[in-house]
Chain A
Amino acid sequence: MTKADAKLSELSYTAASRELDAILDAIEAGDTDIDALSDKVERAASLIKLCREKLAGTELRVKKVVDELTATLGDDASVTTPND
Chain B
Amino acid sequence: MALRIELDERGRDLLIRFDYDKRLVEAVRQLPGRRFDPRAKLWLVPVKHVDAVVLALLPHGFTLAPEVSGIARPVDAALPFAAPTPTPIDRATRDERAPTNDTRPPPTAFTVAGLNHRVRDALRGAFPDSVWVIGEVIDFDKSAGRRHRFFSLIDKAPDEARPLAQVEAALFESKIEELADKLAAAQPPLALRDGLEIRVRGRVDMFPQSGRYQLVIDDIDPAHTLGKLALSREQLLRELRSKGLDGKNVARPLPCPTLRLAVLASPTSDGWHDFLHQLEASGLAFTLTLYPVRVQGVELRRTVLSGLAQAAATAADHDALCILRGGGSRSDLSGFDDRELAYAVANHPLKILIGIGHERDRTVLDHIAQSFKTPTAIAAFLVEQGMLEVAALAARARLLADATRDLLDAQHLHLQQRAESLQTTLSSHLLAQRHVLALAAQQLRHGALSRCVATERHRAALANERLRRGARTLVRDAIAATTRAGARVRGLTLRAIERAQGSLAAHDLRCRLLDPRATLRRGYTMVRRASDGRIATDAKNIDELADLDIEFRDGVVRASVTTVTIRPSSPVP
Contacts and interface: CB of A to CB of B under 8 A. Distances in A.
A binds B: yes
A76 to B, nearest CB: 9
Interface string B387-423: 0011001001101100110111011000000000000
Nearest to B277: A60
A13 B257 contact: yes
A32 B255 contact: no
B411 A34 contact: yes
Interface in A60-84: 60-67, 69-70, 73, 75, 78-84
Nearest to B262: A65
A45 to B, nearest CB: 7
Contact of B400 (A17, A27, A84): A27
B303 to A, nearest CB: 6
Q: How large is the interface on A (under 10, 10 to 19, 20 to 34, 35 or more residues)?
A: 35 or more
Highest count of chain B CB atoms <10 Å: which of A24, A41, A60: A60
A66 B306 CA distance: 11
A80 B294 CA distance: 8
B276 interface: yes
B293 A70 contact: yes
A17 to B, nearest CB: 8
Interface string B255-292: 11101000000111110000010011001111111111
B407 A57 contact: no
A61 B404 CA distance: 38
A28 interface: yes
Given A55-B257, A81-B296, A84-B297, 17 more contacts: A27-B403, A30-B407, A44-B400, A48-B397, A57-B285, A59-B280, A62-B289, A64-B289, A65-B289, A69-B303, A70-B293, A75-B267, A75-B268, A79-B144, A83-B295, A83-B326, A83-B331
Interface residues of B, number: 56
B573 interface: no
Give 5 nearest A-B pairs by CB, closest first: A57-B285, A83-B327, A84-B266, A27-B403, A83-B331
A62 B276 contact: yes
The majority secondary structure among interface residues of chain B is: mixed
B396 A32 contact: no
A14 interface: yes
Contacts of B222: none
Nearest to B261: A62
B404 A27 contact: yes
22 contacts: A28-B403, A30-B407, A34-B408, A34-B411, A41-B400, A48-B397, A55-B285, A55-B393, A61-B288, A62-B276, A62-B289, A66-B292, A69-B303, A73-B303, A75-B267, A75-B268, A79-B144, A81-B331, A83-B326, A83-B357, A84-B268, A84-B327
Given A60-B276, A60-B279, A83 B290 contact: no
B188 interface: no
B407 A80 contact: no
Nearest to B306: A69
Contact of B283 (A56, A69, A79): A56
A60 B288 contact: yes
A8 to B, nearest CB: 15
B311 to A, nearest CB: 9
Of A32, A80, A83, most B-chain CB atoms within 10 Å: A83
A14 B259 CA distance: 12
Given A32-B407, A65-B291, A67-B306, A45 B400 contact: yes
A21 B396 CA distance: 8
Given A37-B408, A62-B290, A66-B292, A55 B389 contact: yes
